[in-house]
Structure 1
């Protein structure tokens, strides 16, 4: 931590503290955002790394944390909520917990110790002097994912729904490609000027990025349909054909993404599966 700045100001109302947990899924690490001054909110407190909790406390020294807000319960986002709440007395709020059913081995997995004092849903708010956070339900990356609008800055904290460096991984059974696409569409008409993601730099052209993300997913779907038009395939066979030169560490994630597309196509009656082999629906 000694070579890292304590925090970085990314907007007059927003500071961020970078957790030291870089990986193929977290990029440079999870970014915890601090909103406001004096009485502040902490968004996505991050992983249970003692030095990161200490950095958040140091960045807010002399201030009062009035809300610890969580976008979703992957273990690189919420475990620090408990020690931060214990140190400050601040309530934990935001996304709902997810039942203990994951086991994909991808990303960080879910934090099943997460126990919010307040579960927030669409349109719910928490506020402090000069700031308001409004929950926007954006399921897909996870079933419980929320974004948080900051109307005073025409900004949106997008968690892992929209990131500043890569598209989100959608891992069934909790991740749902149909819901993810609908949640991207949901953001399109909003007037946000900037997105603050949990990974990657702020997004200063959000509408352009949304168009690109939606287009990318539709291209992947069309690619899957085209491959299955050549004959039945397993998911690993499709991954090998679709992702030439892929980093081996990301093969499982690519397989999960392909499966998520297939399940969405299946729900729409366009493909079907026999055992682990997929084909176009008759």
Structure 2
């Protein structure tokens, strides 16, 4: 059996009005080193991962085993060494990265040959939608929707922007963030919200950052309801807008806030946010245009 390294990027989703349909891959990673073993064992190489099971009940391994089973494949037991610098349960796609990692683990260890399109469908089924998992799989900016014929996804690379994220110590459960959303909105409001989302994507493609920022602020799908759960939102938004950010949005369901900025202005924005918010995790992140990568490693170099 070969040894592999599987590297999955973090992601931010929605970008304001692109609710459950827009994702952006970021350069923080969940990394697996996989080697042959006499039983399933997961070794956490990052303190944040030590709370999770270290056997086949681990979420990543369960995802791999279920994926393999759906193809009629049986996976040999593996030693899976896992490290991550993606903050957990903070709206930066940690669960989506774990899902993608599990599917890639199944494909590699079982020598199944799953197509990228099928990996997307599987991951979206596990996650519920394709924005975060699509970004982790394909990299760059992804826009996705699910139709009666399946998932449609397009990805765009080489956007010349950075994302400075602000993450509080307190987590915000996705369930709680979902609870504050209305069960339905009127037809006229839905049309307006969809138009805002459309213009956001057009502005990003044309690199009209000013318009993109206005569309982020003009979201009608979730910001009006979720911002009340985050007492730090307005402070972060004000500091960001005063120091070069063209747009600010919740990262996924929060509590992380993503501040979008042209690359040459990112260092200053990071400095000002870090200075003003010393009790929060501030990160200056780049876009990952590769998506998930898997490489074979020599057996004697496995960790």
Q: TM-score range by the shorter chain?
A: under 0.3
Give the TM-score taking structure 2 as reference length: 0.26
TM-score between both structures, scaled by the size of structure 1 = 0.27
> Counting helix residues as a fraction of each chain, which structure ranks higher?
2
